[in-house]
Amino acid sequence: MPIVVFNQKGGVGKSTITCNLAAISASQGLRTLVIDLDPQGNSTSYLLGGTATDDQPTVAGFFEHTLSYSFKSIPPTDFVRSTPFENLDVMPSSAALSELVVKLESRQKIYKLREALAELAQTYDRIYIDTAPALNFYTRAALIGATGCLIPFDCDSFSRQALYALLDNVQEIRADHNPALEVEGIVVNQFQARANLPQRMVAELIEEGLPVLQPYLPSSVKIRESHELAQPMIYLDPSHKITQAFVALHDALRSKSV
The overall average pLDDT reported for the chain is 93
179-238 per-position pLDDT tens digit:
999 999 999 998 887 788 889 999 999 999 999 999 999 999 999 999 999 999 999 999
For residue 42, what are the CA distances in angstroms to 11, 104, 204, 212, 254? 11, 23, 31, 25, 24
Per the domain annotation, does 157 fall within a domain? no
Per the domain annotation, does 172 fall within a domain? no
CATH number at 253 reads: 3.40.50.300
Give the span between the Cα atoms of 186 and 239, in whole angstroms: 24
Per the domain annotation, does 161 fall within a domain? no
pLDDT at 71 over 70: no
79-105 per-position pLDDT tens digit:
999 999 999 999 999 999 999 999 999
Write out the DSSP string of 28-65: TT--EEEEE--TT-HHHHHHHGGG--TTS--HHHHHHH
* Residue at 134: amino acid letter: A
pLDDT of residue 58: 96
52-69 per-position pLDDT tens digit:
777 789 999 999 999 987
Per the domain annotation, does 242 fall within a domain? yes
pLDDT at 73 over 80: yes
Per the domain annotation, does 207 fall within a domain? no
3-state secondary structure 64-123: HHHCCCCCCCCCHHHHCEECCCCCEEEECCCCHHHHHHHHHHHCCCCCHHHHHHHHHCCC
pLDDT at 70 over 80: no
**Across 130-145, average pLDDT:** 97
Q: Write down the pTM of the prediction.
A: 0.96
Strand, coil or helix: 6: coil
**Residue 52 half-sphere exposure toward CB, CA atoms < 13 A:** 24
pLDDT of residue 160: 82
* Residue numbers of the domain that contains 6: 2-145+219-257
Cβ neighbors of 162 (< 8 A, separation 6 or more) are 7, 8, 9
pLDDT at 17 over 70: yes
pLDDT of residue 67: 92
pLDDT at 246 over 90: yes
pLDDT of residue 51: 78
Ramachandran angles phi, psi of 212, nearest 5°: -80, 125
201-217 per-position pLDDT tens digit:
999 999 999 999 999 99
139 Ramachandran zone, left/alpha/beta (phi>0; psi -120 to 50): alpha
**Across 244-258, average pLDDT:** 88
Per the domain annotation, does 201 fall within a domain? no
CB 251 within 8 A of CB 243: no
Work out how many domains the chain is built from and give that number: 1
Distance in Å from the first CA to the final CA of the chain? 11
pLDDT at 171 over 60: yes
Exposure string for 188-197, b = 16+ CB within 10 A, e = fewer: bbbbeeeeee
Per the domain annotation, does 181 fall within a domain? no
Give the span between the Cα atoms of 6 and 18, in whole angstroms: 10
Beta-carbon neighbour count of residue 205 at 10 Å?
A: 18
Cβ neighbors of 78 (< 8 A, separation 6 or more) are 57
Per the domain annotation, does 197 fall within a domain? no
**Across 13-39, average pLDDT:** 97
Ramachandran angles phi, psi of 137, nearest 5°: -55, -45
